[in-house]
Chain A
């Protein structure tokens, strides 16, 4: 009995070690892939036209979906807070509460999730298809540095576009909030804006933009890594896309907690209240 229990515990221990070891190895590979891609951003020849092409895809083509999601997030959040704050007669605080929530949390996180699903998924699928169709091998044997040509521009595009998309999301969500508070539930317009101005500082907006940038680096790295290292045929492309999107989305939510703490830590050591 005791021997069986001991065997079970050893098996669980061995399995846990294997899983943890696998995760650490994979994280190391992703980190190497990322550092190499970052180094190649500054290598010659310049890939500026590629960066612009990917910015158009990651940024421009995401604006419509970001606006749509942003406006309804602003509307729904404002309505919920209005219903809650009305219970203890604090409806004037709906504006700043929505503004704080949107700029610091919901703006970057929702933008990250949407863009990771849209652009990140497309990145993984595109690179995976290129891999299984030998297009990446063709680039390799043509003397093209494939990471510099395919990965670095996508990383740069995501890093530049994400804060801009977060800003768009913030603005549109606040317009949604304004519409609900002022036009639908008839709160005082001047009070709505004044309260936002009283509570919101530039640092809150910057915090969200910074998070957006971090999420951009994260999903672009994960999705390009998955796509670039696709093996197998169509199934491999599907798996790579699935893994890229799922790991990006889950990772963004986990990362959000740590980045929030990191920012608090930074504020503390800099003496920012």
Chain B
């Protein structure tokens, strides 16, 4: 039986200059439901552009993007806004609202989308999520500027988890972090994924070691196309020269 896809991109092309040059040149990718998929590739290969297509921030020039069975490229802006509740995103910079405390940051999506819940319940859920990502309660009422980078990542992840999304996206979660913090974030992603078997996790990363260690599937992009999609073993056993080169160089750097 074929595995059900959470995200399906079919011949997705994107040009920002009316078709003269394509950033995405026909992406075909099926991300299985409940999997942890890493998207890797050299800089400028279209990883971020592809991610923005998944989130509906960009519309493809041609091709279809199905997320949880819905073709998001046909949704109106208002429908897209509502549809994005299916996503939770952890940004590279955590992107916490700097005028809100840690707990207010996590409460924010709940206040926005679960207006039926009383405030006490919203607070309880937010506390649960923060504990789930291992943040001590003594930091709950601090501003993002008063906590460390690692704590900010934890808060960002708790906020991404607040609405129990079906798809969790990690946008270069360890870029610029020291090795200890990198390992902490990797473990956090892995633990979160294990805890939430139904959630599909997609991680865009330059950190090859982490991708090979924690991902079920890896997609490598090159020049706007998927060069290889498979398990970590497939990447070690491939004959594609560029993939071998990227993997060898990347692993040496780790």
The answer to whether B91 touches A137, judged by C-beta atoms less than 8 angstroms apart, is yes
The answer to whether A138 touches B84, judged by C-beta atoms less than 8 angstroms apart, is no
Q: Is the interface of B mostly helix, strand, loop or mixed?
A: mixed
Instruction: With CB as the reference atom, state the residue of chain A lying closest to B113.
Output: A143
Chain A, 115-170, CB within 8 A of any chain B CB: 133-135, 137-138, 140-145
> A residues within 8 A CB of B109?
142-143
CA distance A169 to B98 in the complex (A): 34
CA distance A142 to B93 in the complex (A): 16
CA distance A72 to B83 in the complex (A): 55
Q: Is the interface of A mostly helix, strand, loop or mixed?
A: loop
The answer to whether A142 touches B91, judged by C-beta atoms less than 8 angstroms apart, is no
A45 contacts the other chain (CB 8 A): yes
Q: Select the residue from B81, B85, B96, B115 with max chain A CB neighbours within 10 A.
A: B81
The answer to whether B91 touches A134, judged by C-beta atoms less than 8 angstroms apart, is yes
> A residues within 8 A CB of B22?
none
> B residues within 8 A CB of A142?
84-85, 89, 108-109, 112
B110 to chain A, nearest CB (A): 10
A86 to chain B, nearest CB (A): 54
> B residues within 8 A CB of A141?
55, 57, 84, 87, 89, 169
A231 to chain B, nearest CB (A): 14
> B residues within 8 A CB of A140?
55, 57, 84
A48 to chain B, nearest CB (A): 13
Determine which of A133, A135, A143 lies in contact with B85 in the assembled complex, contact meaning CB atoms within 8 Å: A143
CA distance A142 to B96 in the complex (A): 12
B112 to chain A, nearest CB (A): 6
In this complex, how many residues of chain A approach chain B with their Cβ under 8 Å: the count is: 12
> A residues within 8 A CB of B246?
none
B92 contacts the other chain (CB 8 A): yes
The answer to whether A135 touches B95, judged by C-beta atoms less than 8 angstroms apart, is yes
Instruction: With CB as the reference atom, state the residue of chain B lying closest to A132.
Output: B93
> B residues within 8 A CB of A133?
93, 95, 98
Given the known interface contacts A45-B115, A140-B84, the answer about A134 and B57 at a Cβ–Cβ threshold of 8 Å is no
> B residues within 8 A CB of A137?
57, 91, 95
A128 to chain B, nearest CB (A): 13
The answer to whether B97 touches A135, judged by C-beta atoms less than 8 angstroms apart, is yes
B77 to chain A, nearest CB (A): 8
The answer to whether B95 touches A144, judged by C-beta atoms less than 8 angstroms apart, is no
CA distance A145 to B80 in the complex (A): 10
Instruction: With CB as the reference atom, state the residue of chain B lying closest to A142.
Output: B109
> B residues within 8 A CB of A138?
89, 91, 95, 97
CA distance A143 to B84 in the complex (A): 5
Instruction: With CB as the reference atom, state the residue of chain B lying closest to A149.
Output: B112
CA distance A126 to B197 in the complex (A): 39
B147 to chain A, nearest CB (A): 15
CA distance A141 to B82 in the complex (A): 10
Instruction: With CB as the reference atom, state the residue of chain A lying closest to B99.
Output: A126
A47 to chain B, nearest CB (A): 11
CA distance A213 to B243 in the complex (A): 61
The answer to whether A134 touches B93, judged by C-beta atoms less than 8 angstroms apart, is yes
CA distance A42 to B91 in the complex (A): 31
CA distance A162 to B87 in the complex (A): 40
The answer to whether B81 touches A145, judged by C-beta atoms less than 8 angstroms apart, is yes
CA distance A51 to B55 in the complex (A): 29
CA distance A145 to B84 in the complex (A): 11
The answer to whether A134 touches B81, judged by C-beta atoms less than 8 angstroms apart, is no
Query: Known contacts A138-B91, A138-B97, A141-B84; can you find 6 more A-B pairs with CB under 8 A?
Result: A135-B95, A138-B95, A141-B87, A142-B112, A143-B83, A143-B113
| 21 A-B residue pairings within 8 Å (CB atoms) | A45-B115, A133-B93, A133-B95, A135-B96, A135-B98, A137-B57, A137-B95, A138-B95, A140-B57, A140-B84, A141-B57, A141-B84, A142-B84, A142-B108, A142-B112, A143-B82, A143-B84, A143-B109, A143-B112, A144-B81, A144-B112
Interface of B toward A, CB cutoff 8 Å: 55, 57, 78, 81-85, 87, 89, 91-93, 95-98, 108-109, 112-113, 115, 169
